[in-house]
Amino acid sequence: RFQACVYFASVFQAMSCGIHYLASVFMAVTPNFVCGFPGNVSSILFHNSSASNIEDIWTLWTSTENYIVVQLEKGEIWELNQCSRSKREVSLDLAYEYEGNKSVFSCSDGFLYDDTKWKSTVVTQWDLVCDREWLAKLIQPTFMLGVLIGAVIFGDIADRLGRQRVIWFTSTGQFVFGIAVAFTFDYYSFVIVRFLLAMVSSGYLVVAFVYVTEFVGIRARTWASMHVHAFFAMGIMVVALAGYLVRTWWVYQIFLSIATLPFVLCCWMLPETPFWLLSEERYEDAQKVINTMARWNKVSTPCKVSELCSVQQDDPVSGRMGDNDTSSTKKHNILDLFCNWQIARRTITVWLIWFTGSLGYYVFSLSSVSLGGNEYLNLFLIGAVELPCYIIACIAMDKLGRRNTLIPFLILSALICVLIMFIPQDFNILIILANMAGKFSIGVAFGLIYLYTAELYPTIVRSLAVGSGSMMCRVGSVVAPFCVYLRSVWIFMPLLLVGIMALLSGILTIMLPETLGKPLTNT
């Protein structure tokens, strides 16, 4: 009972990580837009359609190459493009086509945005279009850079100061910075606060994995650690729901940040893990936590830490002391993952799988809103498809083995990427289903690699291997938004890159050993 309460409280907050990681999908939308005009409009023309206000024109807008012709009350006729405007020298009659002389001007009067779908986004708030478009494209990569740095910093702090304090700080930080984002006064303060939000979100997710693993018994550890991902996916589903209900970016951000407020109010009740307390030789504190667990679980005779330490020679304390003795004689570093050709080949393959898993995960997620149809439903389904994928992964990795599950799902995701390229663009439902299948298959691989990496390496470099793999995962998440932007070069470019990486990873995985049922190596 105690472990269940601690587990579900901890993973509930993991939803907020999924929320903030994908929030920019709707917050940084670029709607249709044209240059503003200098004065009051008397009539508007778009191809063969005329209107008295520009809102009526947006329903007819089909391409960025289109332009709108407006006649001002003082008689001037202007052609409004997306990033420039032209004043016609001869303005006798209002016609769409014009062959005469025109004077080209910049958009000094700002821009006109289509607000039929979104009342306000960060793009419309700070005019992140045309020559400032690159600033909009940096919003997600800078967030993911914060994710990378936060994972490194808070992972180290959790080992030094304890899991409990980091969980308190990062969960509170997510709420505070999440609300603060909504009240930023310009683009640069927005990016800086989002960067800090990314650091604490990533820090929470990393420490939550360790926290629940140290509390949950061995029998349920695989399922428990795997389903932290499932709550992250539920956060993505919340983003889709919030995007559908709220169409003003700062209200949307507040709505998302408040979603996990209940955890912030009760996270101070979470105890420190006995493992960490024992490693710090705080035996009395560890005994208090164990006694609390015994009361909750109705165990009449809780184990005594003093007996545990004196009777068992392979207990957590002596084990960790042994590790410290080893590390004092030889400090292990990243080069130990390349100490010989066999280990080096294993490391390169594992890093590639981490990178590919993260790249594919975020490419499928971030590009889901561009598939056509209802973008809110698309993102919701892309999140929902993860829930069964982790169940399948847990069953398959215990029945078929780690490697025998990883290989087919990596190759399957590559084949799905190729298949999507051959589906006609007007088959929206088929494209969405194929993308869900791609996210499902890459999700299985992404969820499995955490445990597989830990089992592939000996004890002395195991944490280093998982940590470095996680770093490659963060690099993949930083690259993913740029990969999605390559849709402007060729619509299938992101899928092609993910497909190639997944196929290469799947082939190289054949050379990895199977670890199911094998004892963990020590040297």
- Residue 369 sits in which domain range? 335-522
CA 302 – CA 10 distance, rounded (Å):
24
Q: Please report whether residue 188 resides in a domain.
A: yes
CB atoms near residue 453 (< 10 Å): 24
CA 191 – CA 181 distance, rounded (Å):
8
Which amino acid type is present at position 141? P
Q: Please report whether residue 135 resides in a domain.
A: yes
* Predicted pLDDT at 326: 42
Q: Please report whether residue 329 resides in a domain.
A: no
* Predicted pLDDT at 190: 95
**Same-domain pairing of 436 and 483:** yes
Q: What percent of the chain lies above the pLDDT cut of 90?
A: 25
For residue 459, what are the contacts with CB-CB under 8 A and spacing of at least 6?
323, 520, 521, 522, 523
Q: Compute the mean pLDDT over every residue in the chain, rounded to the nearest whole number.
A: 84
The residue to which tokens 């023309």 are assigned: 45
**Same-domain pairing of 110 and 205:** no
Report residue 501's pLDDT band, with 50, 70 and 90 as the boundaries. very high
**Same-domain pairing of 200 and 340:** no
Q: What is the pLDDT of residues 362-393, one digit of tens each?
A: 899 888 877 777 889 988 998 899 899 888 88
* Predicted pLDDT at 467: 76
Tell which phi-psi region holds residue 127, choosing left (phi > 0), alpha (psi between -120 and 50) or beta. left
Strand spans (E) along 180-285 = none
pLDDT tops 50 at residue 255: yes
**Same-domain pairing of 265 and 281:** no
* Predicted pLDDT at 440: 93
CA 394 – CA 396 distance, rounded (Å):
6
Higher pLDDT, 19 or 76: 19
**Same-domain pairing of 360 and 496:** yes
Give 517: exposed, middle or buried? Use CB within 10 Å, 0-12, 13-18, 19+. Answer: exposed
Q: What percent of the chain lies above the pLDDT cut of 70?
A: 93
**Same-domain pairing of 369 and 491:** yes
CA 362 – CA 95 distance, rounded (Å):
46
**Same-domain pairing of 16 and 165:** yes
Indicate the pTM of the whole model.
Answer: 0.84
Distances (CA, A) of 148 to 145, 479, 501: 5, 12, 21
Give me the CATH number covering residue 376.
Answer: 1.20.1250.20
For residue 480, what are the contacts with CB-CB under 8 A and spacing of at least 6?
144, 358, 359, 361, 362, 363, 366
Higher pLDDT, 207 or 500: 500
**Same-domain pairing of 11 and 47:** no
Q: What is the pLDDT of residues 61-73, one digit of tens each?
A: 776 677 888 888 7
The residue to which tokens 């847990």 are assigned: 394
**Same-domain pairing of 41 and 184:** no
pLDDT tops 80 at residue 331: no
Q: How many structural domains are present in the chain?
A: 4
Instruction: Determine the average pLDDT of the residues in 438-456.
Output: 86
**Same-domain pairing of 74 and 110:** yes
* Predicted pLDDT at 463: 67
